[in-house]
């Protein structure tokens, strides 16, 4: 494992994620939104996450900035990063397949929205967010830079903790007791833990 290979793995993670998401993003545009928790706050959270998971690491990969925050590359660390990146992509594939047309980049309930409780959603309520946490961990392991590497954990962490309660409130308003019951038998992002 070399620093260049580790950076390439991060780029492939982002490309893989885009390829998995693209057809669902296209389809979701044609589905009417009936309830939404979008707004300035949601946009700010999305931009924060995008900066941490995408913009800062890509600036680092392209330019080496911020150089003062660099630390020595560890091959073993980067190998673990590769496996975490693969787990992240597997999670995006499983979650998009299970959610199908019910997916939105923001907090939206769409026309004929169905509550998905099977596939990977049988075990977790927010497995796509598990996928993004795995992305952020892979980023920290692959990029030997205190700022560019850890920006994903901070940026996505802000989105996650800023959104999760609102999302569950929105789902409760839309699906009532069914979601309540679903909440009582599932964890959010890590089975048996949280």
Q: Which residues bind ligand SAH (CB under 6 A)?
A: 95, 99, 102-104, 107-109, 115-116, 121, 126-129, 167, 171
| Contact (CB, 8 A) for 9 and 76 | no
In the bound complex, what is the minimum distance in angstroms from residue 152's beta carbon to ligand SAH? Answer: 16
d(CA 69, CA 92): 30
Residue 172 vs residues 72, 82, 135, 166, 169: alpha-carbon distances, Å: 47, 37, 28, 10, 5
Query: Please, which residue, 5 or 123, has the CB nearer to ligand SAH?
Result: 123
d(CA 88, CA 9): 12
Query: Please, which residue, 80 or 183, has the CB nearer to ligand SAH?
Result: 183
User: Which segments within the chain are labelled E, that is strand?
Assistant: 33-36, 108-110
In the bound complex, what is the minimum distance in angstroms from residue 16's beta carbon to ligand SAH? Answer: 17
In the bound complex, what is the minimum distance in angstroms from residue 175's beta carbon to ligand SAH? Answer: 8
Closest-CB residue for ligand SAH? 128
- Apex CA 172: angle with CA 170 and CA 176, to 5°? 140
In the bound complex, what is the minimum distance in angstroms from residue 183's beta carbon to ligand SAH? Answer: 10
In the bound complex, what is the minimum distance in angstroms from residue 157's beta carbon to ligand SAH? Answer: 14
SS3 169: helix
């Amino acid at each position: 494992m070399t620093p260049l290979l580790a950076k390439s793995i991060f780029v492939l993670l982002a490309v893989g994620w885009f390829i998995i998401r693209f057809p669902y993003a296209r389809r979701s545009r044609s589905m009417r939104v009936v309830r939404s928790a979008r707004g300035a706050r949601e946009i700010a959270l999305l931009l924060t996450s995008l900066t941490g998971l995408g913009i800062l690491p890509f600036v680092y990969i392209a330019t080496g900035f911020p150089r003062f925050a660099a630390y020595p590359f560890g091959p073993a660390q980067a190998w673990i990063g590769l496996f975490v990146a693969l787990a992240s992509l597997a999670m995006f594939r499983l979650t998009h397949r299970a959610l199908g047309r019910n997916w939105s980049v923001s907090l939206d309930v769409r026309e004929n929205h169905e509550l998905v409780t099977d596939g990977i959603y049988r075990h977790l309520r927010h497995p796509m967010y598990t996928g993004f946490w795995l992305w952020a961990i892979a980023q920290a392991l692959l990029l030997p830079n205190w700022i560019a590497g850890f920006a994903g954990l901070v940026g996505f962490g802000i989105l996650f903790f800023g959104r999760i309660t609102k999302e569950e409130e929105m789902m409760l308003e839309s699906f009532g007791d069914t979601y309540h019951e679903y909440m009582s038998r599932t964890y959010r992002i890590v089975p048996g833990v949280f």
